[in-house]
Amino acid sequence: MKNISLLGSTGSIGQSTLSVVEKFPDRFSVIALAAGNNSELLEKQIRKFKPRIAAISGEKAAEGLRKRCGDLPVRILSGIEGMIQVAAAEEASITVSAIVGTAGLVPTMAAIRAGKDLALANKEVLVTAGELVMAECRSRGIRIFPVDSEHSAIFQCLHAGAHKDIRRLILTASGGPFRGHSRKELAKVTPAQALKHPNWSMGKKITIDSATLMNKGLEVIEAHWLFGMQPDRISVLVHPQSIIHSMVEYSDGAVVAQLGMPDMKGPIAYALSYPERLDGVSPALDLASLGTLTFEEPDLERFPCLAYAYDAIKAGGSMPAVLSAANEVAVKHFLDESIGFTDIPRVIKAAMDAHTPSPLRTVEDALKADLWARQEAEGIIKDRLG
């Protein structure tokens, strides 16, 4: 039996994680749950999965939950302190990190420091503080099992050869709903259109990131830290069907790919059960009925966020944190319709241009860069676009 602590239980990855747990009750048990604001769903999850502790962001919501769950042996906590206690829950052997955005960084670090292996879905944790997170994992012997489908694919493909023989990693990208749109068309797209991803069902922030290709940019940085590859050896290939989840090219010219139906339960289950594979997690792949898989180069001119991510990782230090935080702010304003779709890359570029990267020595340094970028991005939106 594997005891799981789950950060971000009411989000898209959190809910898929719980449906994997539900399908394999003799293998997994939920010890601790943490959620942001959805106390109604958290209560349902507490009743179903019976964790020992649970946390929710606001103290008021926690108080309400304590009253409603008075009949259950669960301790209900709140705030960042509560998230940290869930992340480091004593009986847990693996912590699923699925809080969206930089908010996941401090609890994820707490899990690592408490000696938990990580099933990592939150890519912003590595984008913002990859160097620090990886160093902490190395020094404590913590393993990271990637939940992001591309990184899970690469993790699987890496079993085919030695690290020294890797020529490059090839991350596939669906291209999002606006692949092939002209600049003019892009300027007019609405949040509702951007939230309709062609292949994957995901949370709001990541769906917008997929439409701008920022998601792929963040994944390049994530792959850099997870697999110790320089950015010039990580390439991105648009593959609209999302059947090949990513590939590794070896020095002899062989390319090893991982294929499957686009369903997050696959990578989640593999991260939780590695090295074993669980029976019937994802729907079977029927290549003959799919017929054709296609590929094309990403269009960096119309989707410059991907290029900015390469710029950020090459600049190093605090720059990726600035990229990620400015993006979070821009996406939030796009969703509330205060800026347009093509303003998202403008805001990120302006924030990066205004930033001189400095080395990250501590998590606090990373959080400081993150906060600076949020204020800078808010200012840019107010001054130039508002």
Looking at beta carbons only, is 146 or 345 nearer to Mg ion?
Answer: 146
Looking at beta carbons only, is 16 or 149 nearer to Mg ion?
Answer: 149
Looking at beta carbons only, is 39 or 210 nearer to Mg ion?
Answer: 210
Burial class (CB in 10 A: 0-12, 13-18, 19+), 366: buried
Task: Please give the residues from 312 up to 341 whose contact with Mg ion meets the rule CB under 5 A.
Answer: none
What is the number of helices (H) and of strands (E) in the chain?
17, 11
In single-letter form, the type of residue at position 222 comes to E
DSSP-based three-state secondary structure for 117: strand
Which residues is 76 bridged to in the sheet?
A: 54
User: By CB under 5 A, is residue 222 in contact with Mg ion?
Assistant: no
Q: What residues contact 242, with CB distance under 8 A and at least 6 apart?
A: 172, 174, 198, 199, 200, 262
Looking at beta carbons only, is 3 or 149 nearer to Mg ion?
Answer: 149
Looking at beta carbons only, is 176 or 345 nearer to Mg ion?
Answer: 176
Least gap, CB of 223 to Mg ion (angstroms): 10
Task: Please give the residues from 229 up to 258 whose contact with Mg ion meets the rule CB under 5 A.
Answer: none
Least gap, CB of 171 to Mg ion (angstroms): 8
User: By CB under 5 A, is residue 209 in contact with Mg ion?
Assistant: no
Contact status, residue 207 vs residue 197, Cβ threshold 8 Å: yes
Least gap, CB of 219 to Mg ion (angstroms): 6
Q: What is the C-alpha separation between 373 and 367, in angstroms, rounded?
A: 10
Residue nearest to Mg ion (CB): 148
First CA to last CA distance, the chain: 53
User: By CB under 5 A, is residue 378 in contact with Mg ion?
Assistant: no
Q: What is the C-alpha separation between 234 and 226, in angstroms, rounded?
A: 12
The binder of Mg ion chosen from 148, 209, 343, 370 (CB under 5 A): 148
Tokens 């690469």: give the residue: 154
Least gap, CB of 294 to Mg ion (angstroms): 19
In single-letter form, the type of residue at position 41 comes to L
Least gap, CB of 239 to Mg ion (angstroms): 12
Looking at beta carbons only, is 151 or 355 nearer to Mg ion?
Answer: 151
Largest interatomic CA distance in the chain? 63
User: By CB under 5 A, is residue 370 in contact with Mg ion?
Assistant: no
Query: Which residues of the shown chain bind Mg ion in the complex (CB under 5 A)?
Result: 148-150
